[in-house]
Chains A and B, each alone.
Chain A
């Protein structure tokens, strides 16, 4: 994968196939640059959460009553 272009239109094609989401070509082309920005930020957050000090952290999907 080209690091300058982490989400190419082909990546969107594959993700759509995996998700069984049929999208017209022009929509897939539009999504690629937007997803590239979102994924770059999400990957950055993932790197942060992978640090040793966070190893014991579990996801919070339900809040405690305190």
Chain B
């Protein structure tokens, strides 16, 4: 394979070659760094690149593998981290001016686990400021762009991670997801992203957005690659008070179990309602494919589903405004206009609004847990629309009606976030303009394995994930 094509390898493919010493980590890392140098001027997916450190780590990996010490599937694999995840000695801005000079003295637990597995960190990715928004139109580090069409947004808040994975400027990345920030950019960039069950992956040393909803997780081109990264970062962390003591299964083994006999639910008057026509048609076609693999699809009523957007907005307003309370009084002009406004609004809810929103989560979770007695997973589109133009603050979903972007973007991804459930976004096709469409699969608490099985089986039957943007 030509050096210029190495970045097209999936993690799984590259890991096999590295283990057999048919590929050098140095060669692979150089190919990725070269790709960043060529492509990232157009996309602005990175805030910081770590070329020198990456080369050093790759050289060390090469020596180890040559000496017969292969640490596992991430050894020598170039990855990127969203810039709100602490990296010892490397600037971690959270996409903000306020943390513009922050160089952590410690790694996040997820960073440390990736390093221990031998991953090569090539850079820190662009994001919506402090993860509070879904466009990655960053006023301090520039607008991040979608590799499928650089005039379109990469969504957010992990937009840089999504664009970087799709553009082959890393083989996989970590993002963070509070109300959809991994799944939204995974959808519009045509890649895979998993939001884990709350407590499954440590949040230690990750700049928070909303404490009761925050998660960290991988984004990659295939479900299998997500699994390889997830297996490394998942599991109890005594440094995170919200970390769960739940055993981590062998997710790679789960992938071989197939999906025949699984049952998938569509939420009545919600799963396929109020979406752009192309999104609805594409997800319906994906469901047919899943049915052809032996999965049963049935419709289930969930009467409390309406109300989710208000609950999400309330919690995602009040919790960040608590974290940012001091900076909002001392450094207000250092925030971008949109985030500053949201933080100001978050100070103005009543305590009863916040607590009712938290009570709503209990109601919603109970309805899902009841639903899981009948089905193994629920399906929705990830987003009701495909990538909008960069800078847009409204979106048209149907009937020519303009809607507020922030509320529209939360339509489907907020629900599992509120209910504390895992959810996977898988690419399932393209609209007429060549923009990717994603499907969200929601699972039982701590049952990420079933989501991986469904996503992997779907990718085995389709080739959407093999298509690359021409950027």
A binds B: yes
A19 within 8 A of partner (CB)? yes
Which residues from chain A contact B304 at a C-beta distance below 8 Å? 48
Interface residues of A in 18-49 (CB under 8 A from B): 19-23, 27, 30-31, 34-35, 38-39, 41-46, 48-49
Which residues from chain B contact A15 at a C-beta distance below 8 Å? 347-348
Interface residues of B in 300-357 (CB under 8 A from A): 304, 307, 309-311, 313-314, 317, 328-329, 341, 344-345, 347-350, 352-353, 355-357
Q: How far is the CB of A38 from chain B (nearest CB, A)?
A: 6
Which residues from chain A contact B361 at a C-beta distance below 8 Å? 59-60
Q: A35 with B362: in contact, given A30-B341, A66-B446 (CB under 8 Å)? A: no
Q: Is B420 touching A63 in the complex (CB atoms < 8 A)?
A: yes
Which residues from chain A contact B242 at a C-beta distance below 8 Å? 62-63
Q: How far is the CB of B459 from chain A (nearest CB, A)?
A: 29
Q: How far is the CB of B423 from chain A (nearest CB, A)?
A: 14
Q: Is A41 touching B309 in the complex (CB atoms < 8 A)?
A: yes
Interface of chain A, main secondary structure: helix
Which residues from chain B contact A12 at a C-beta distance below 8 Å? 348
**Complex: how many Å from CA A25 to CA B304?**
39
Q: CB < 8 Å: which of A21, A35, A38, A46 contacts B352?
A: A46
Q: How far is the CB of A16 from chain B (nearest CB, A)?
A: 8
Q: Is B353 touching A59 in the complex (CB atoms < 8 A)?
A: no
Which residues from chain A contact B348 at a C-beta distance below 8 Å? 12, 15, 19, 31, 35
Which of A21, A35, A60 has the most CB atoms of chain B within a 10 A radius of its CB?
Answer: A60
Which residues from chain B contact A52 at a C-beta distance below 8 Å? none
Interface residues of A in 46-60 (CB under 8 A from B): 46, 48-49, 54, 57-60
Q: Is A38 touching B328 in the complex (CB atoms < 8 A)?
A: no
Q: A63 with B311: in contact, given A19-B347, A35-B345 (CB under 8 Å)? A: no
Q: Is A42 touching B310 in the complex (CB atoms < 8 A)?
A: yes
Interface of chain B, main secondary structure: helix
Interface residues of B in 220-266 (CB under 8 A from A): 242, 244-246
Tell me how many residue pairs across A and B have CB atoms closer than 8 Å.
98
Q: Is A49 touching B344 in the complex (CB atoms < 8 A)?
A: no
**Complex: how many Å from CA A39 to CA B318?**
13
Q: CB < 8 Å: which of B246, B357, B363 contacts A54?
A: B363
Which residues from chain B contact A1 at a C-beta distance below 8 Å? none
**Complex: how many Å from CA A19 to CA B314?**
17
**Complex: how many Å from CA A48 to CA B310?**
12
B452 within 8 A of partner (CB)? no
Q: CB < 8 Å: which of B313, B341, B353, B420 contacts A60?
A: B420
Which residues from chain B contact A35 at a C-beta distance below 8 Å? 345, 348
**Complex: how many Å from CA A60 to CA B369?**
14
**Complex: how many Å from CA A65 to CA B243?**
9
Q: Is A60 touching B362 in the complex (CB atoms < 8 A)?
A: yes
Q: Is A27 touching B362 in the complex (CB atoms < 8 A)?
A: no
**Complex: how many Å from CA A39 to CA B198?**
27
**Complex: how many Å from CA A54 to CA B367?**
12
Which residues from chain A contact B352 at a C-beta distance below 8 Å? 46
Please name 8 further chain A to chain B contacts, defined as beta carbons within 8 Å, in addition to the given A19-B347, A21-B344, A60-B358, sorted by A numbering.
Answer: A21-B347, A41-B309, A45-B311, A60-B359, A65-B244, A65-B245, A66-B445, A66-B446
- In the assembled complex, 28 residue pairs joining A and B whose CB atoms fall closer than 8 Å, in A order, are A12-B348, A15-B347, A19-B347, A19-B348, A27-B344, A31-B341, A31-B344, A35-B348, A38-B314, A38-B317, A38-B345, A39-B349, A41-B313, A42-B310, A42-B314, A42-B349, A42-B353, A44-B307, A45-B310, A45-B357, A49-B363, A58-B362, A59-B359, A60-B420, A61-B212, A63-B197, A63-B199, A65-B446
The 5 closest A-B pairs by CB, nearest first: A59-B358, A41-B310, A63-B420, A42-B353, A46-B356
